Protein backbone atom coordinates (compact mmCIF):
# COMPACT_ATOMS: atom_id res chain seq x y z
CA UNK A 1 0.00 0.00 0.00
CA UNK A 2 3.01 2.26 0.13
CA UNK A 3 2.56 3.35 -3.49
CA UNK A 4 -1.10 4.23 -2.90
CA UNK A 5 -0.24 6.24 0.22
CA UNK A 6 2.54 8.02 -1.69
CA UNK A 7 0.07 8.85 -4.47
CA UNK A 8 -2.43 10.20 -1.93
CA UNK A 9 0.24 12.33 -0.23
CA UNK A 10 1.61 13.70 -3.52
CA UNK A 11 -1.81 15.07 -4.45
CA UNK A 12 -1.40 18.02 -2.11
CA UNK A 13 1.77 19.24 -3.82
CA UNK A 14 0.28 18.66 -7.27
CA UNK A 15 -2.65 20.90 -6.38
CA UNK A 16 -0.33 23.48 -4.82
CA UNK A 17 1.84 23.64 -7.96
CA UNK A 18 -1.23 24.05 -10.17
CA UNK A 19 -2.42 27.01 -8.09
CA UNK A 20 0.98 28.64 -7.68
CA UNK A 21 1.06 32.26 -8.76
CA UNK A 22 -2.64 32.60 -9.52
CA UNK A 23 -4.23 35.90 -8.59
CA UNK A 24 -7.86 36.74 -7.85
CA UNK A 25 -8.64 37.27 -11.55
CA UNK A 26 -7.43 33.81 -12.53
CA UNK A 27 -9.00 32.15 -9.48
CA UNK A 28 -12.41 33.68 -10.22
CA UNK A 29 -12.53 33.48 -14.02
CA UNK A 30 -15.09 31.03 -15.35
CA UNK A 31 -13.59 29.80 -18.59
CA UNK A 32 -16.57 28.00 -19.98
CA UNK A 33 -20.32 28.18 -19.48
CA UNK A 34 -21.59 26.69 -16.23
CA UNK A 35 -18.08 25.73 -15.17
CA UNK A 36 -16.56 26.11 -11.74
CA UNK A 37 -13.98 28.83 -11.36
CA UNK A 38 -10.61 27.62 -10.09
CA UNK A 39 -11.53 28.99 -6.63
CA UNK A 40 -14.79 27.01 -6.64
CA UNK A 41 -12.98 23.90 -7.88
CA UNK A 42 -10.51 24.24 -4.97
CA UNK A 43 -13.40 24.54 -2.50
CA UNK A 44 -15.01 21.42 -3.97
CA UNK A 45 -11.75 19.45 -3.76
CA UNK A 46 -11.30 20.50 -0.13
CA UNK A 47 -14.82 19.45 0.84
CA UNK A 48 -14.41 16.15 -0.98
CA UNK A 49 -11.13 15.54 0.80
CA UNK A 50 -12.81 16.15 4.15
CA UNK A 51 -15.47 13.57 3.25
CA UNK A 52 -12.83 11.03 2.20
CA UNK A 53 -10.76 11.74 5.33
CA UNK A 54 -13.78 11.05 7.53
CA UNK A 55 -14.44 7.78 5.71
CA UNK A 56 -10.79 6.73 5.99
CA UNK A 57 -10.70 7.37 9.74
CA UNK A 58 -14.04 5.62 10.32
CA UNK A 59 -12.93 2.48 8.49
CA UNK A 60 -9.65 2.31 10.42
CA UNK A 61 -11.19 3.08 13.81
CA UNK A 62 -14.61 1.41 13.77
CA UNK A 63 -16.13 -1.97 12.97
CA UNK A 64 -18.12 -1.80 9.72
CA UNK A 65 -19.02 1.88 10.11
CA UNK A 66 -21.67 3.65 8.10
CA UNK A 67 -19.88 6.03 5.77
CA UNK A 68 -21.86 9.19 5.30
CA UNK A 69 -22.56 10.65 1.91
CA UNK A 70 -22.47 14.29 0.99
CA UNK A 71 -24.36 16.27 -1.59
CA UNK A 72 -21.62 18.04 -3.54
CA UNK A 73 -24.15 20.20 -5.37
CA UNK A 74 -25.72 21.43 -2.11
CA UNK A 75 -22.25 22.24 -0.77
CA UNK A 76 -21.42 24.22 -3.91
CA UNK A 77 -24.77 26.03 -3.81
CA UNK A 78 -24.91 26.82 -0.11
CA UNK A 79 -21.34 27.34 1.04
CA UNK A 80 -19.02 30.20 0.15
CA UNK A 81 -17.29 28.53 -2.79
CA UNK A 82 -17.12 31.77 -4.78
CA UNK A 83 -15.54 33.85 -1.98
CA UNK A 84 -13.49 31.24 -0.15
CA UNK A 85 -9.99 32.32 0.84
CA UNK A 86 -8.03 30.23 -1.66
CA UNK A 87 -4.73 30.44 0.22
CA UNK A 88 -6.35 29.22 3.43
CA UNK A 89 -8.25 26.47 1.60
CA UNK A 90 -5.05 25.23 -0.03
CA UNK A 91 -3.20 25.28 3.30
CA UNK A 92 -6.00 23.28 4.94
CA UNK A 93 -6.05 20.83 2.01
CA UNK A 94 -2.30 20.27 2.38
CA UNK A 95 -2.51 19.87 6.17
CA UNK A 96 -5.44 17.46 5.87
CA UNK A 97 -3.54 15.33 3.36
CA UNK A 98 -0.47 15.32 5.64
CA UNK A 99 -2.54 14.25 8.65
CA UNK A 100 -4.38 11.48 6.82
CA UNK A 101 -1.12 10.30 5.24
CA UNK A 102 0.37 9.89 8.73
CA UNK A 103 -2.72 7.94 9.83
CA UNK A 104 -2.52 5.69 6.76
CA UNK A 105 1.19 5.02 7.24
CA UNK A 106 0.53 4.05 10.88
CA UNK A 107 -2.44 1.80 10.07
CA UNK A 108 -1.81 -1.91 10.56
CA UNK A 109 -1.72 -4.03 7.38
CA UNK A 110 -5.10 -5.62 8.17
CA UNK A 111 -6.75 -2.16 8.13
CA UNK A 112 -6.61 -2.12 4.33
CA UNK A 113 -9.13 -4.96 4.11
CA UNK A 114 -11.51 -3.42 6.65
CA UNK A 115 -14.83 -2.23 5.27
CA UNK A 116 -17.44 0.39 5.81
CA UNK A 117 -20.99 0.65 4.49
CA UNK A 118 -21.25 3.54 2.06
CA UNK A 119 -24.53 5.44 1.96
CA UNK A 120 -23.82 8.08 -0.66
CA UNK A 121 -26.79 8.55 -2.96
CA UNK A 122 -25.52 11.97 -4.06
CA UNK A 123 -22.21 11.06 -5.69
CA UNK A 124 -22.77 7.77 -7.47
CA UNK A 125 -21.05 7.10 -10.77
CA UNK A 126 -22.26 9.23 -13.62
CA UNK A 127 -23.94 12.01 -11.61
CA UNK A 128 -23.20 15.52 -12.88
CA UNK A 129 -21.36 17.69 -10.36
CA UNK A 130 -22.06 21.38 -9.75
CA UNK A 131 -19.76 22.34 -12.62
CA UNK A 132 -21.88 20.29 -15.00
CA UNK A 133 -19.13 17.72 -15.52
CA UNK A 134 -20.16 14.11 -15.37
CA UNK A 135 -18.61 12.50 -12.31
CA UNK A 136 -16.40 9.59 -13.24
CA UNK A 137 -15.08 8.74 -9.80
CA UNK A 138 -16.93 7.54 -6.76
CA UNK A 139 -18.49 4.43 -5.38
CA UNK A 140 -21.96 3.01 -5.40
CA UNK A 141 -23.73 2.29 -2.12
CA UNK A 142 -22.56 -0.80 -0.33
CA UNK A 143 -19.48 -2.30 1.23
CA UNK A 144 -16.20 -0.51 0.49
CA UNK A 145 -12.66 -1.18 1.71
CA UNK A 146 -10.13 1.30 3.04
CA UNK A 147 -8.03 0.66 -0.05
CA UNK A 148 -10.98 1.56 -2.29
CA UNK A 149 -11.73 4.80 -0.42
CA UNK A 150 -8.11 5.96 -0.65
CA UNK A 151 -8.08 5.08 -4.35
CA UNK A 152 -11.30 7.04 -4.89
CA UNK A 153 -9.80 10.06 -3.08
CA UNK A 154 -6.76 9.92 -5.39
CA UNK A 155 -8.89 9.45 -8.51
CA UNK A 156 -11.16 12.32 -7.51
CA UNK A 157 -8.27 14.76 -7.28
CA UNK A 158 -6.80 13.47 -10.55
CA UNK A 159 -10.18 14.01 -12.21
CA UNK A 160 -10.35 17.64 -11.07
CA UNK A 161 -6.68 18.33 -11.77
CA UNK A 162 -7.49 17.69 -15.44
CA UNK A 163 -10.15 20.40 -15.27
CA UNK A 164 -7.85 22.77 -13.40
CA UNK A 165 -5.10 22.36 -16.00
CA UNK A 166 -7.62 22.87 -18.82
CA UNK A 167 -8.86 26.05 -17.11
CA UNK A 168 -5.28 27.34 -16.87
CA UNK A 169 -4.87 26.64 -20.58
CA UNK A 170 -8.11 28.46 -21.51
CA UNK A 171 -6.92 31.44 -19.46
CA UNK A 172 -3.67 31.50 -21.43
CA UNK A 173 -1.60 30.54 -18.40
CA UNK A 174 1.53 28.39 -18.69
CA UNK A 175 0.95 24.70 -18.00
CA UNK A 176 1.90 23.33 -14.61
CA UNK A 177 3.40 19.95 -13.95
CA UNK A 178 0.58 17.49 -13.23
CA UNK A 179 2.57 14.72 -11.57
Q: How far is it, in rounded angstroms, from Cα 27 to Cα 38?
A: 5
Q: What does the pLDDT read at residue 115?
A: 96
Q: Which domains does the chain have, with CATH numbers?
A: 2-170 (1.20.120.450)
Helices assigned H by DSSP within the chain? 2-19, 24-28, 38-61, 72-78, 86-106, 146-170
Strands 142-145 and 115-119: antiparallel
| CA of residue 28 relative to chain centroid, distance | 19
Nearest alpha carbon to residue 86 among 57, 125, 133, 44: 44
Residue 102: its pLDDT value, please?
Answer: 98
Tens digit of pLDDT at every position of the chain (179 positions): 899 999 999 999 999 999 998 999 999 998 666 678 999 999 999 999 999 999 999 999 999 999 988 888 899 899 999 999 999 999 999 999 999 999 999 999 999 999 999 886 555 333 444 444 444 445 566 899 999 999 999 999 999 999 899 888 888 888 775 55
- For the entire predicted model, the pTM comes to 0.86
Q: Alpha-carbon distance 44 to 72, whole Å?
A: 7
Amino acid sequence: MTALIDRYEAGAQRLSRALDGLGAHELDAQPGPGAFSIRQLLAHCLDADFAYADRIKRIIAMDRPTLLGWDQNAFARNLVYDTLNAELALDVFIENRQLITAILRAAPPNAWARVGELRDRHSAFGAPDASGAKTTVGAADGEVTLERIVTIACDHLDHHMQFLCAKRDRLGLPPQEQN
